[in-house]
Amino acid sequence: MTIQELIKMINISGGSSEHDHIMHGKEITEKEIKQYNFLNLGPTHPATHGIFQNVLKMDGEIIVDAEPTIGYIHRAFEKLAEHRPFYQIPTITDRLNYCSAPINNIGWHLTVEKLLKIETPKRVDYLRVIIMELARIADHIVCNSVIAVDTGALTGFLYVFQWREKIYEIYEQICGARLTTNIGRIGGFERDFSENVFLNINSFLKEFPKVLSEFEKLVMRNRIFMDRTIDVGKITPERALEYSFSGPNLRAAGVDYDVRVMSPYCSYEDFDFKIPVGTAGDSYDRFCVRQEEMWQSLSIIQQAVQNMPQGSYHADVPEFYLPPKEEVYGSMEGLIWHFKIVMGEIDVPKGQVYHSVEGGNGELGFYLVSDGGRQPYRLHFRRPSFIYYQAYPEMIVGSMLSDAILTMSSMNVIAGELDA
């Protein structure tokens, strides 16, 4: 198959509608059309793992210019959040980065707890850490195995995906849901972890390292994989900082910024873990950073399970934490609190807080402006994918089309988080 045929195949939108001739808001001139090929990569293309459109201006197979179009699954979360009470917002956050929904949920709970100045018991923190690190592993195995798929190695993807299922089974036993978890409550968890959850976590800790190292052996030092990823989609640490990169993408460029260490939340200061950093900022380094982060996450979970403190699984905040049903049906006080929480009779302090957690993709921040009502006056999500995806054109210009696909998957752009 010639390159022209391949490009025709990818150019699924046909090339005749008016949108194909606009780039950066400007009409593409006749001269440019004669000189270059314009290619619509996406919005629904199997290689882009989500709904992303990129108009690529190509000279042969070399990308000269690119323009991403985003917003295909924009659901106005920030507007929605202004019309929901605090305890109904976790379901919105689920749908941001749906590969690691529990981190988003817990990030939101932590933000509200910061506003309300709620101190959570140590046990809550440790349970949350376990969940968040499991979510990080789930996030990174998807990303890394998909990078491998894009270089032609499908086996590893199918193999490790079974282990994402195991993580989802653990979520399911904790909160009843698998993908959009809505895990936890303001102040803690709705119920304590059962025996079975800990058994499953322990068996995961025992068996997953074998799988992960097998995957690593398959891919990490594989000649084809290395040739395809090294020096692909490079970004310097200076540019990465200019673009407000965060998370594994920033660390792959060599900047050791991790929210868990810089502004510890949820007792992360109790744990001993390393922050892996890359040197080149290319796709291979991003892969390696994520790979090492999974090992670190396993070690964090191990520490949390071993040192699990005794105590309550929720903070003692009757104003915001729903009482158990026996109390609601059996006591006056329980019934009153239940009514007040559900009907929104409780005042919250006025003020503004910013809280961030280290999400799967980087610093996931919540800027909450409260006017004292039961709903946020304004809630802004700092979505790492949205912020670093704007560097994508700069990272792929001068490289080939196949490298562009790989760069996108190694950046781990999640459509839900990108579009909010």
Partner 1 sequence: MQRVVKVTNDYIAEAILQKFPESIRSIEESYATLDIVVAKEKIIEIITWFKTHEVLQFNFLTSLCGVHFPDKKDEELSVVYHMHSFINNIRLRIHVFLPISLPEIPTLTGVFAGANWMERETFEFYGVKFDGHPDLRIILNEESMTYHPLRKEYPLIDDSRTDKDDKYFGR
Shortest spacing between CB 381 and partner 1, in angstroms:
9
What is the smallest separation between the CB atom of 351 and partner 1, expressed in angstroms? 5
| Neighbour order of strands in the sheet with 363-371 | 350-358, 363-371, 378-382
**Residue numbers 247-286 binding partner 1 by CB under 8 A:** 255, 257, 262-263
Q: Is position 405 an interface residue for partner 1 (rule: CB under 8 A)?
A: no
Contacts of partner 1 in 221-240 (CB under 8 A): 239
Q: Alpha-carbon distance 130 to 136, whole Å? A: 10
Closest by Cα among 192, 190, 169, 188 to 179 = 169
User: Strand, coil or helix: what is 399?
Assistant: coil
Shortest CB 211 distance to partner 1, Å: 35
Within 193-222, the residues that bind partner 1 by CB under 8 A are: none
**Rounded-to-integer distance, Cα 370 and Cα 350, Å:** 5
Q: CB of 23: closest distance to partner 1 in angstroms?
A: 11
Q: Is 411 in the site for partner 1 (CB under 8 A)?
A: no
386 binds partner 1 (CB under 8 A): yes
Q: What order do you get walking across the sheet with 37-41 strand by strand?
A: 37-41, 53-59, 62-69
Does residue number 78 form part of the binding site for partner 1 (CB under 8 A)? yes
Task: State yes or no: residue 114 binds partner 1 (CB under 8 A).
Answer: yes
Cis amide bond preceding 323, omega within 30: no
Q: Where are the alpha helices (DSSP H) in 331-398?
A: 332-343, 384-389, 392-396
Token pair 């000189």: residue: 35
Longest dimension (CA), the chain: 79
- Tell me which residues in 115-154 interact with partner 1 (CB under 8 A): 115
Residue 243 C-beta: closest distance to partner 1, Å: 4
Binding of partner 1 by 420 (CB under 8 A): yes
Residues lying near partner 1 in the complex (CB under 8 A) are found at: 24-25, 70-71, 74, 76, 78-80, 82-83, 114-115, 239, 241-245, 255, 257, 262-263, 351-354, 356, 363, 365, 367, 369, 377-378, 380, 382, 386-391, 419-420
